[in-house]
Structure 1
Amino acid sequence: MHNNIFIGVLILLIGGACHSRSTEEHSISELHQAIDSRLNKEEGDFAVAFRSLGADPVTLLINEKETFHAASTMKTPVMIELYKQVALGTISLDDSVKIVNEFKSIVDGSPYRMDLSVDSQEGLYSKIGQFSTYRELNFEMITMSSNLATNILIDKLDAKKVTETMRSLGAKDINVLRGVEDLKAYEQGLSNTTTAHDLMLIMEAIAEGKAVSKEASLAMFEVLKAQHFNEIIPGQLPEDVTVAHKTGSITGVRHDSGIVELASGKRYVLVLLSKNLKAPEEGIQAMSDISKLLYDFMKDKEG
């Protein structure tokens, strides 16, 4: 008799678990369709990589292995390499660094300068010839997407080492070849590239305290939280949601990649990439809509 009761309870538990799993799979399938439907309304190519963190992670991937011009999303790998070299004792975040505006093309070593008119962070240009620190340059690179700060850091850290560090984190397709505005390299097709999948992996590493160390990951999270450009992932999210992220944009390209933390403390990683956009503002709106869909999905899971 007791055995029959036990078996009956076990069947109910297994049945309930299977039902719960099939219900979630159904809701993820519907979510996938809703995202596809929204993106299909736009002229352009998109990729989505989403993963909830913690127990029973949920993953949703669309074109996650397709290659995109990295634009300024490559600045997150540069930041990770900076904190790695600090951990190795090679440099300190508060070491002095001279602000210069002359860099060498990876094609032939010829010098080139940054164009102030296309950089989003103009403040550093008034300080050329003066000194800053790695900490300050990193903050400008991430939060204001300063190209000048990026090139100074890449010059000091070495692009090859940045890519090697990405490989150590399991990101097999991110390639950081050079700094910004190396036109000779651009004309030869030598550009920094990424996939949504790889950006998801490195953001996940930061979120889980596995990028360099827990302490370094937390410091990087705090810098990413101070992001100045907030149109895409945070665009439609409530104020009590924290988004630590890095954007990127060039002609026809708009990206966002980051870690989203709900008021409850639950977290997920989201990467939204785009290229060949005919109407960039509409592409931004579409990706912001996708971010809201995924946020609503996570909130429903909490309920």
Structure 2
Amino acid sequence: MTIYPKIFLLLGSLFLLSACSNRMTLNKLQDNIKSKLAEQPGDFAVAFKDLSTGETILINEQQYFHAASTMKTPVMIEVYKQAAAGAFSLNDSFVLKNEFKSIVDSSVFSLKASDDSEKELYQHLGEKRSLYNLVYEMIIRSSNLATNMVIELVNARQVTQTMRQLGASHIQVLRGVEDSKAFDKGFNNVTTAGDLQVIFEKMATGEIVDSASSQAMINILLNQQFNEIIPARLPSTVKVAHKTGNIMHVQHDSGIVFLPDGRKYVLVLLSKNLQKEDQAIKAMAEVSEMIYKYVSNRDK
């Protein structure tokens, strides 16, 4: 009669051993991420930080990438910083225009609506829009027209200086969008995964300008309209405040992931030299899913 408790004890031990051996570790997760991204031709960087535990994964986090539209998050940060200092109000209105000066020689250039992901503003040139509206369109629809107007207001150099003050030592914002003369000379906005992680962590913890400004920026980022990477394979109950970026052979996503139980983490996924962009986007979305499953299952 005493054999049964021993059998149950043995089975319980085997089950516990199996569960432990199958449980994902941070190192195993990192190896799986590297393997997944290695399947795609191109260069990738990953920066992940769980804000509840401090667990971190960094892969090529100091490698430089063309920032593409990820630089619009630093620009938004500068807007809120200057607004808090009294330089202007987010309710101030500005006349929509499509003439900007190259940083190379101050020659005038214009943007094409056909090359912009947000086209409606071009139909309202000469009309006024609030600064908040311009920032909102710059982030959620990645409006290049709004971006250039905002950068002209806050000054690209000030954006970079603020990034340094926040501890992001590599992000560099030199110019607005579609300044072809600057592009031809190699004057480009650049970033690293590590720097984007720094600014999103500070935003998530209410340390950019103040807690109210940080939350206001998060609220804008939560309305992001381009969701092919970080949020793509996550449950609808998971909210992501993020900013994407893409140009030819480049696909980025970066932001804060909010779990239903209140936990949150920062995730940055950058890529360049892509040969099969659709497949790379899918792989990066799968990496996001892998990280979510690790975080959500860790304490189970």
TM-score when normalising by structure 1: 0.91
Match of 1:296 in 2: 293
* Counterpart in the other structure of 2:195: 198
Q: 1:40, CA displacement in angstroms?
A: 0.6
Q: Distance in 2 between matches of 1:150 and 1:29?
A: 39
Partner of 1:11: none
Alpha-carbon distance in 2 for matches of 1:227, 1:173: 25
**C-alpha distance in structure 1 between counterparts of 2:73 and 2:202, whole Å:** 12
Structure 2: gaps (5+ residues): 1-20
Separation in 2 of the partners of 1:132 and 1:27? 50
Read off the aligned partner of 2:238 and give its amino acid letter. Answer: V
2:102 to 101, 105, 110: 105
For residue 29 of structure 2, what is the amino acid of its counterpart? L
Instruction: Give, in whole Å, the separation in 2 of the partners of 1:201 and 1:29.
Output: 22
Identity rate, percent: 51
Q: CA deviation at 1:302?
A: 3.2
Report the 3-state secondary structure (helix = DSSP H, G, I; strand = E; otherwise coil) of the residue aligned with 2:194. Answer: helix
In structure 2, the partner of 1:32 is 30
For 1:58 and 1:87, the matched residues in 2 are separated by 33
1:261 corresponds to = 258
Tell me which residue corresponds to 1:45.
Answer: 43
For residues 105-139 of structure 1, give each alpha carbon's deviation from its aligned partner in whole angstroms, at most 9, with x where no partner exists. Answer: 00000000001111000010011111001100000
Amino acid at match of 2:201: E
* Aligned counterparts, 1:44-83, within 5 A: 44-54=42-52, 56-83=53-80
Paired residue type of 1:297 = Y
SS in 1 for 2:25: helix
Residue in 1 that maps onto 2:15: none
How far apart are residue 26 of structure 1 and its match? 7.7
Q: Which residue of 1 aligns with 2:176?
A: 179
Equivalents in 2 of 1:122, 1:128: separation in Å? 11
**Aligned residue for 1:5?**
none
Deviation, structure 1 residue 210: 0.5
Rounded Cα–Cα distance in structure 1 between residues aligned with 2:255 and 2:264: 10
Question: Is 2:124 the counterpart of 1:127?
Answer: yes
Matched pairs, number? 281
Counterpart position of 1:17:
none
Aligned mates of 2:31, 2:198 — CA distance in 1:
24
Partner-residue secondary structure (3-state), 2:94: strand
Partner AA of 2:105 in structure 1: D
Aligned to 2:92: 95
Distance 1:125 1:115 in 2: 9
Q: What is the SS of the residue equivalent to 2:31?
A: helix
Give the 3-state SS of the residue equivalent to 1:114 in structure 2: coil
1:156 aligns with 2:165: no
CA distance in 2, matches of 1:296, 1:72: 28
Aligned letter for 2:271? S
Query: In 2, Cα distance between the equivalents of 1:301 and 1:212?
Result: 33
User: What is the aligned partner in structure 1 of residue 230 from structure 2?
Assistant: 233
| C-alpha distance in structure 2 between counterparts of 1:77 and 1:174, whole Å | 9
Which string of whole-angstrom CA distances, capped at 9 and with x for unpartnered residues, describes residues 4-45 of structure 1?
Answer: xxxxxxxxxxxxxxxxxxx9x981111111001101100010
Whichever residue aligns with residue 224 of structure 2, its letter is Q
Matches of 2:217 and 2:243, distance apart in 1: 11
**Letter matched to residue 94 of structure 2:** V
Q: After the TM superposition, which residues 266-277 of structure 1 pair with which residues of structure 2 at under 5 Å, given as runs?
A: 266-277=263-274
Q: Secondary structure at the match of 1:175?
A: coil
Q: Deviations over 1:209-257 (max 9, x none)?
A: 0011100000000000000000100000000001000000000000000
